[in-house]
Amino acid sequence: MSLPDLAELELPELEAMVATLGVGPFRARQIYRWLYRRGLDGVEGMTDLSLALRQRLRTEVRCSTPRLAKQERSTDGTQKFLLELSDGKTLESVFIPDTPSMTFCISTQVGCAMRCGFCLTGQMGLTRHLSAGEIAGQVRVLARELDLSDRKFNIVLMGMGEPLHNYDATMKALRMLAAPEGLGLTPRRVTLSTVGLIPALERLATEAWVPNLAVSLHATTDELRHKLIPTSRTQRLEDLMAVCRRFPLKHRERITFEYVLLDGVNDLDADARRLAGLLGALPAKVNLIPLNPAPGIPFARPSDSRVSRFAAALARRGVRVSVRKSRGQDIRAACGQLIVEGGPRRSAGQHAAEELS
């Protein structure tokens, strides 16, 4: 029988666990602070616990934490972390400084099942879901390695994987990170990026703790979207947009719609016109992402003038729009470039390109 894992427990679960050891819930809060605010991954350094309790915890619990296997720094200051999990699987997380806040880009799966044709992670396929502790563990490791445990930072769930495909673990990890006894993250400091899995989006709308929402569109017609994102073939853009319109937003909040620009594929004036029409009066912001090229991705990045023209076409139609600045391309840490486990399993991008030819 495996030992209880401190890294997988929300605070109420941790309080229940320490109660079985005959100690009060305040001990759980102490342990929680050591794990999240001080970055410990073992009980030895928890000096405000009695020696007897620490000795007992050593034999009766464990604390699984991703192991830092490699760290790379880009010329622009972006840092990429290769983390090894307890079963030997690896994933990548990214730190983006000065954005204007410091931002951690966190993974929710090893690989991804969405198979987006312009994304290296999608070409990997899905190896497995991450547990809540492995998702939150990335934040613990990055905060510790970067000495940011006592600083405010943002989190974007935009690394490897589709967060809503791993719904329960993702939301549990966010609750663990949000606990005041831990890092105390607020919803406005967390952004969840999704291709728009409709049943999961509807479920997310009912949560008490809801992060900022970023929906990846990448196309303005069902035909093109189904080719670029094969797993979107079970739903229509019309239905996805209807769910977005019903999504609960607080005053001044907006849904971000992410749109990767592919040269000659989805960057035409007609695409901009249709995109503005899809959004209508929805409180929204469009984040344009010029493709980050990589070996194995059979699409090209549009010219800067083409990107500017597309952005201007949206702005003329009253759409709030920004163009994402690519960070970390030289260490393959930019959007769509994360990949581990020896590279692609299938050429999802090539399949998409063949369908478009």
- Extract the tokens encoding 306: 């083409």
φ and ψ at residue 261, rounded to 5 degrees:
-85, 125
335 is an active site residue: yes
Q: How many C-beta atoms lie closer than 10 Å to residue 48's C-beta? A: 9
Yes or no: say if 271 and 294 are a contact pair by the CB < 8 Å rule.
Answer: no
92 is an active site residue: yes
Long-range contacts of 289-293 (CB under 8 A, 24+ apart): 289/258, 289/259, 289/260, 289/261, 289/323, 289/324, 289/335, 290/260, 290/261, 290/323, 290/324, 290/326, 291/118, 291/260, 291/261, 291/262, 291/263, 291/336, 292/326, 292/329, 292/334, 292/335, 292/336, 292/337
Of the residues 10, 92, 134, 258, which is catalytic?
92
Q: CA geometry: angle at 276 spanning 271 and 281, to 5°?
A: 160
Provide CB contacts within 8 A for 134, sequence distance 6+: 7, 64, 66, 85, 91
Q: Which residues are catalytic?
A: 92, 335
